[in-house]
Structure 1
């Protein structure tokens, strides 16, 4: 058995010179985090920024972004099962289970058994949940207005078509 030489075992990755100072991490909009970045990364970066702003906007209502998504979907499509909610909100069934338990405990949603499949639980907003969603939605609409600032109706419609197309084509 031969032993590897030091030259073979050394990493081929160039190392940052210790005397060169700290590495500059680009801010949003700079370098690969700017217009020259990959579209997928830029979409994720934009999503992260929107989610953080939404979390901060809803904090004093004690509602998280995922809870807001669940409330929104149950308002739009009353009677969804937990599995349906998970698919529509891009959350895991486990996460949705926790959110549903918390929202039900707080009186924001209520469960009814499915009329045919008794094991399936259907969820709907309560009046308390509708009131909570309305308060959240007022704040989120302000964020949405901020997102669309500077866009005319035609451009906003094109962006909405583009985003929807990504979701349906990929």
Structure 2
């Protein structure tokens, strides 16, 4: 522990602390962290299939299927058949889903501000580049 710890462990420790903080921030919305990620992906990329959403969200297809079922039941997303591949379903946010995501995003933005507290814009940009590089090199999918 501490600044002299192994870099991979420090990264894991920071990720665990950030995830716990995000889960606490999401508690008032009723969303879980994975549901928040799925809503975020569907807002950014409307019309994703469940399989594509799973890949982008770094979740298993089985997990995303459960999440999608729950979000659809709650009226946060809706499905439509793919215009070419009719058996493939595409998912989009409903007005309820957009409102729920906006509420959840406020908590996530507050966490982002805490994470960047005390850092300059240059430092934040350097950290973002470093994290993106790690993700690209160690998890190329």
TM normalised by structure 1 equals 0.79
Superposed CA offset, 1:107-126 (max 9, x none): 00001111111121110000
Report whether the alignment pairs 1:51 with 2:19: yes
Greater C-alpha Rg: 1
Instruction: Using the TM superposition, give the Cα deviation of residue 43 of structure 1 relative to its aligned residue in structure 2, in angstroms.
Output: 1.5
2:14, 2:57 → 1: CA distance? 17
Q: Does 1:74 align with 2:54?
A: no
- Following TM superposition, where does structure 1 have runs of at least 4 consecutive aligned residues deviating by more than 3 angstroms? none
Aligned to 2:57: 89
Q: Which runs of 5+ in 1 are unaligned?
A: 1-32
Match of 1:123 in 2: 91
Q: 1:130 aligns to what SS in structure 2?
A: helix
Q: What is the CA RMSD across the aligned residues, in angstroms? A: 0.9
Richer in helix (by share): 2
Q: CA deviation at 1:91?
A: 0.9
Q: How many residues are matched?
A: 138
Corresponding residue for 1:135?
103
Q: Which has the higher contact order (CA 8 A, sep 6+)?
A: 2
Match of 1:107 in 2: 75
Alpha-carbon separation, structure 2, partners of 1:38 and 1:121:
44
Deviations 1:93-147 (A, max 9, x none): 1111110000000000001111111121110000000000000001110110000
